[in-house]
């Protein structure tokens, strides 16, 4: 930036001999001058998608990786849920959710301008732009609700006289707004996109997220309807191992089929409803390349070579059933989720990766949290670039996957007192993909186990435990403190609202209980 300013000054000086004065015209567009074409609204959508990347995604992972009872971290305060109202990661989650909502509201405020000549072709049609903005606002509001409980619900661009006076909304109001946005989005969005628009929201993503919200709202019938819309769309399927021979050589096929959901070489596959898109782009910041790049920072923070020491607990590794198929010692998902001592380490740039071909040994990499295991999911092969070390990982963050949809359907089925039937069939299809035998009947224990081993270490576990503990009359008997001894009931279900936000609202916004 300094170089650009210097060049501008030099040219201004050189030009002063030809003109008596230099007239500069501001080039930054105003809202009135910018939202005038479909292409500009598409640019605004790009801005609305962007908080899902490093700005929101990394702090979210930072908090909920370490809150997970299946993970141990070098930072005891996060493992122990000692969340502070001034914590920078929590502040970032709140701030960038707010940014995302604001950018969507800006689109809604300007898109009804009759002077804008929209086309009927995606991605520039008016309905498709609205649908994407509705999906994104609902997504941000969903995380607002499950992370911060009842912050202000902002569904329009605030005017100056509304600053500093916002109060807590209700969770019911959040759910109603999310349902309205997603129902309309599902009617406007396409079922799929062409190759140049991969990553945009689809109708399946809208139905899937709506069904997930209904699970939190404990509206099981509506959840099943939404999940049925996803399943019956024909757009999604579990990735299956191919070339099975019913011999020991099949083991690698089962592991590979599962791992494809977490590798940069298999992004946006048939099992994905919605992913946060990343590229292998070093960016422009020479000190911390990932911060100004289109790449994910997750490897930089949480991989074996990352800044932060986290590891799967040995108690988590013991949750995988034994034996597995074709003579395997364990369920193949164990080998796709965690490093075990002796695993051969590989990088996505084998010629550059310094650990290429070496065996994993937890004591060499988990120097503070020695559990005997390492996190493999999302970090196999290990992203490595000798220019920017582990920055700018091109792997996408899978925010909503088809196996999650199938397991939530099974859970809703069980809540509707159907212990066999379609829900059981869907749960067993998830098990069958990894060669595991079917179960005979749905039970709370079966649901909890399957979600733990299928979706483990994906920042879903903590919210699962909380929502199960909030079932009427605690019908599943889940006490989060049995999994996380430091969990305080009535407090740790949610993060604290950042103190700066409480202060700014001049006493109108109340803090969550216990903080």
User: Looking at the DSSP assignment, which residues form a beta bridge with residue 244?
Assistant: none
Kindly tell me the burial class for residue 176, based on how many C-beta atoms sit within 10 Å of its own C-beta (0-12, 13-18, 19 or more): middle
More confident site: 178 or 119: 178
Q: What percent of the chain lies above the pLDDT cut of 70?
A: 88
Three-class secondary structure of residue 120 per DSSP:
coil
What is the β-pairing status of strands 397-401 and 373-375?
Answer: unpaired
The answer, yes or no, to whether residue 104 has pLDDT greater than 70, is: yes
Q: What is the pLDDT of residue 292?
A: 53
Q: Is 38 helix (H, G, I), strand (E, B) or coil?
A: helix
**Cα dihedral 243, 379, 480, 149 in deg (nearest 10):** -110
- Return the minimum-mean-pLDDT range out of 101-105, 217-221, 300-304: 300-304
Q: What is the pLDDT of residue 385?
A: 72
Contact criterion met (CB below 8 Å) for 410 and 284? no
Rounded percentage of the chain residues whose pLDDT exceeds 90:
77
Listed range (300-309, 416-425, 498-507) with the worst mean pLDDT: 300-309
**Mean pLDDT (whole number) for 437-451:** 98
Q: Cβ contacts of residue 73 below 8 Å, gap of 6+? A: 65, 66, 79, 308, 309, 310, 369
Does residue 376 have a pLDDT over 90?
yes
Instruction: Tell me the C-alpha distance between 459 and 68, whole Å.
Output: 7
Helix, strand, or coil here: 73? strand
pLDDT band at 263 (very low <50, low <70, confident <90, very high): very high
Measured in degrees and rounded to the nearest 5, phi and psi for residue 40 equal -70, -35
Residue closest to 104 by CA, chosen among 183, 47, 182: 47
List 375's β-bridge partners, or say none. Answer: 338
3-class DSSP assignment, residue 272: strand
pLDDT computed for residue 433 by the predictor: 98
Closest CA to 278 of 269, 267, 288, 286: 267
Chain center to CA of 371: 26
Domains within the chain, CATH numbers bracketed: 34-189+495-504 (1.25.40.890), 278-395 (no CATH)
pLDDT at 6 over 60: no
The mean per-residue pLDDT over the stretch 218-234 comes to: 98
DSSP designation for 509: S
Residue 206: which residues within 8 A CB-CB, separation 6 or more? 131, 134, 135, 138, 182, 183, 185, 186, 189
What integer is the mean pLDDT of 318-336? 98
What's the pLDDT tens digit per position in 166-212?
999 999 999 999 999 999 999 999 999 999 999 999 999 999 999 99
């Amino acid at each position: 930036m300094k170089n650009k300013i210097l060049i501008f000054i030099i040219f201004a000086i050189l030009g002063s001999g030809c003109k008596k004065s230099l007239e500069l015209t501001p080039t930054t567009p105003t809202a009135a001058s910018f939202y005038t074409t479909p292409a500009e609204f598409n640019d605004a959508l790009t801005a609305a998608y962007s908080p899902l990347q490093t700005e929101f995604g990394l702090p979210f992972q930072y908090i909920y990786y370490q809150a997970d009872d299946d993970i141990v971290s070098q930072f005891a305060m996060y493992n122990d849920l000692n969340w502070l109202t001034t914590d920078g990661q929590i502040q970032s989650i709140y701030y960038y959710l707010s940014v995302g909502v604001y950018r969507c509201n800006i689109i809604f405020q300007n898109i009804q301008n009759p002077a804008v000549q929209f086309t009927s072709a995606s991605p520039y049609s008016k309905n498709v732009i609205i649908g994407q903005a509705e999906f994104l606002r609902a997504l941000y509001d969903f995380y607002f609700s499950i992370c911060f409980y009842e912050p202000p619900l902002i569904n329009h661009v605030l005017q100056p006289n509304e600053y500093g006076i916002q109060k807590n909304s209700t969770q019911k109001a959040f759910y109603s707004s999310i349902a309205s946005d997603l129902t309309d989005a599902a009617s406007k969005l396409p079922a799929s996109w062409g190759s140049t628009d991969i990553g945009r929201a689809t109708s399946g993503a809208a139905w899937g997220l709506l069904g997930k919200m209904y699970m939190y709202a404990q509206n099981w019938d509506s959840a099943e309807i939404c999940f049925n819309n996803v399943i019956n769309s024909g757009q999604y399927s579990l990735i299956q191992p191919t070339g099975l021979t019913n011999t020991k050589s099949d083991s690698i096929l089962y592991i590979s089929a599962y791992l494809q959901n977490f590798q940069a070489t298999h992004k946006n596959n048939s099992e994905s409803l919605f992913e946060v898109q990343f590229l292998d782009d070093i960016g422009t910041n020479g000190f911390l390349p990932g911060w100004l790049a289109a790449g994910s920072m997750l490897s930089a923070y949480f991989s074996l070579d990352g800044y932060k020491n986290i590891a799967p607990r040995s108690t988590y590794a013991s949750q995988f059933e034994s034996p597995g198929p074709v003579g395997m010692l364990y369920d193949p998902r164990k080998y796709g989720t965690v490093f075990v001592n002796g695993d051969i380490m590989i990088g996505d740039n084998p010629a550059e990766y310094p650990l290429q071909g070496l065996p994993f040994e937890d004591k060499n990499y988990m120097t503070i949290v020695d559990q005997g295991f390492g996190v493999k999911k999302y970090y196999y092969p290990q992203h490595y670039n000798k220019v920017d070390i582990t920055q700018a990982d091109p792997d996408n963050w899978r925010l909503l996957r088809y196996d999650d949809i199938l397991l939530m359907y099974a859970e809703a089925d069980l809540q509707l007192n159907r212990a066999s039937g379609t829900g059981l069939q869907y749960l067993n299809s998830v098990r069958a993909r990894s060669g595991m035998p079917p179960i005979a009947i749905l039970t709370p224990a079966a649901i909890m186990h399957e979600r733990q081993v299928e979706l483990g270490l994906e920042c879903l576990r903590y919210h699962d435990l909380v929502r199960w503990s909030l079932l009427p009359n605690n019908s599943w008997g889940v006490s989060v403190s049995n999994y996380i001894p430091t969990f305080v009931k009535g407090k740790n279900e949610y993060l604290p609202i950042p103190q700066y936000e409480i202060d700014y609202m001049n006493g109108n916004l109340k803090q969550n209980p216990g903080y």
